[in-house]
Structure 1
Amino acid sequence: MIQGNLRKMPAKVVDGKVHYELKLGDQLVPLADLIGEKVALNFTGQIHCIHCGRASKKSFSQGYCYPCFKKLAACDTCIMSPEKCHYFEGTCREPEWGDKYCMQSHYVYLSNTTALKVGITRGDQLPTRWIDQGATQARAMFLVENRRMSGLVESLFKSEVADKTNWRNMLKGLEVDINLEAEQERLINRLWEGLDALQNEYGLQAIQELGADNVSHEFVYPVLEYPSKIASINAEKTPLVEGTLMGIKGQYWILDTGVINLRKYTGYEAEFTR
């Protein structure tokens, strides 16, 4: 048995195949050999903030206690809506944090998570961001100068493309191949006036379309069998989560007893057995 506070599953890509680890505190459990095996996570009811470590009755914004949720820049509304970034107004909750994570270059990308999707991420979060969303294909389109600019470009593309993943379809494995390069060209041709307006306002260097050497990426997830119907497991109502691990995709475990989003329970203490 291994016990600790749950963290987001680390993942790496080897020859296009995604390999996951379960992280409990400082302990890592490779999961590749456990696909098809019986596993169990027993949630103890204890929650600790992933920032300050204090005990909390409830988790906010995937792992924070309420005081940290209210004061940290990582929990501000502009994290979910980057076009609302207010750093330039001098009102960032933590300017040093903003310097490190927001005031640096970001990518605007297209991905396939059973449907075409637009998204943004820092460069050091690729391909992690794509894997966390369960994307089977992904392609960066633009390199932009900061997080706010990525949000402005993403908002422009949201008029044509969804920015959310249909997680139920993603867990059913309903993907169809999409020519992301062709979709990028099509969308830019439709939205060039809006892109030009942003460049005219913020400068040509603010938004740079990636060149001819840009490539699309594909990912294969460790899934033996996708469920035909999705039954979501709530660890607060069912603390003992057990069954045969049929696969992992995004941050979800696919069990023969249902699916569970482990990232939702970041900071929760759990005991893992196999």
Structure 2
Amino acid sequence: MSVISVNGPLKKMHTQLDSDGLAHYELELGDTRVPLSELLNHQLTLVASGEIFCVLCGRKTKKSFSQGHCYPCFTRSASCDICMVSPEKCHFDQGTCREPEWAQSFCFNEHVVYVANSSDPKVGITRATQIPTRWVDQGASWAKPIFRVATRQLAGLIETELKPHISDKTRWQAMLKGAPTEVDLTALAAELTAIVMPYANTLNEQHGPSAVRALLGGGDAEPVKVISYPVVQYPSKIKSLNLDKQPILSGRLTGIKGQYLMFGDEVFNVRKFSGYQVQLEISE
């Protein structure tokens, strides 16, 4: 039996959609990318060395914070600040941004407010350049942009306005058990747009006439994106695998969805363990 071995710190899986909407995955271990979608039904073994390296500065850390950061980066980096989770709480204008130059390139560019269906209909935001990556990372089966906005904070403000009417969460266990019940996202998008337009108009008065742009009719309308995943068998019951408790994980790869690897009823969240030094062994 031939065995291939690769070493390196884990990174979030790289994803790409083909012309049919099928997600393709590559597992990143340091500078090496392993094409996982081609390895369905192969035996994979992940062995954690016990070492963790910060995904930002690269220093060795005893504990991972916020998906792979050392404590200094977690407390000082703008990418770990509260406004990353709650963009409406942006404090750049107050002069207290942790990294103003980083924020200029990350936060002050076009973002998209979207509706998606991973486990249930939900609202979300992402940088325009992260479509469709963000949808794949969340395991969405269908997704549709509803607003394009000038900044991350404006996207957060629109999302917050919509939260009383639609969830902003994904039920990850339900997402991993298969495709959700199909919902007419075009009709839902129209309904949510009508609800939030008065507030969007107010934001345009404050920030400029094109700061918030609805994507409904005409040339701005964007279709529903349909996404499928490389899965040969969805889990019926879910057991979450944890490298801190079980440093050696081994099983037949039965599927990949979101940022999860499926080994029968056991699932492994790759992104959660970013920075962990791992040896991957692949056998037929």
TM more than 0.5 = yes
Q: State how far apart, in whole Å, the 2-side matches of 1:242 and 1:181 are.
A: 42
SS of corresponding position for 1:271: strand
Match of 2:13 in 1: 9
Q: State how far apart, in whole Å, the 1-side matches of 2:129 and 2:70 are.
A: 26
Match of 1:173 in 2: 178
The ranges of structure 1 where at least 4 consecutive aligned residues each deviate by more than 6 angstroms after the TM superposition are: none
- CA shift for structure 1 position 85: 0.5
Q: Which deviates more, 66-75 or 201-210?
A: 201-210
Q: State how far apart, in whole Å, the 2-side matches of 1:230 and 1:54 are.
A: 34
| Contact 1:243/1:257 (8 A) holds in 2 | no
Deviations 1:222-251 (A, max 9, x none): 011111111111111011111111100000
- CA shift for structure 1 position 174: 4.4
- CA shift for structure 1 position 89: 1.5
Match of 1:135 in 2: 140
Does structure 1 residue 186 correspond to structure 2 residue 191? Answer: yes
Match of 2:251 in 1: 243
Match of 2:82 in 1: 77
Match of 1:58 in 2: 63
- CA shift for structure 1 position 8: 0.6
| Match of residue 18, structure 1, among 18, 23, 47 | 23
Tell me the TM-score normalised to structure 2 length.
Answer: 0.94
5 Å-filtered alignment, 1:128-167, equals: 128-167=133-172
5 Å-filtered alignment, 1:78-157, equals: 78-157=83-162
Letter in 2 for 1:10: H
Query: Gapped runs of 5+ residues in structure 1?
Result: none
- CA shift for structure 1 position 52: 1.2
| Contact 1:106/1:145 (8 A) holds in 2 | yes
Does structure 1 residue 231 correspond to structure 2 residue 239? Answer: yes
Deviations 1:147-167 (A, max 9, x none): 100000000111111111100
Q: State how far apart, in whole Å, the 1-side matches of 2:122 and 2:203 are.
A: 21
Deviations 1:152-211 (A, max 9, x none): 000011111111110000001141112111101111223333333333333332110124
Tell me the TM-score normalised to structure 1 length.
Answer: 0.97
5 Å-filtered alignment, 1:212-231, equals: 212=218, 213-231=221-239
Match of 2:213 in 1: 208
Q: State how far apart, in whole Å, the 1-side matches of 2:196 and 2:133 are.
A: 28
Q: State how far apart, in whole Å, the 1-side matches of 2:98 and 2:223 are.
A: 37
Q: State how far apart, in whole Å, the 2-side matches of 1:90 and 1:167 are.
A: 37
Q: State how far apart, in whole Å, the 2-side matches of 1:192 and 1:105 are.
A: 19
Letter in 2 for 1:145: A
Q: State how far apart, in whole Å, the 2-side matches of 1:78 and 1:221 are.
A: 31
- CA shift for structure 1 position 91: 1.1
Q: State how far apart, in whole Å, the 1-side matches of 2:175 and 2:251 are.
A: 20
Q: State how far apart, in whole Å, the 1-side matches of 2:260 and 2:173 are.
A: 11
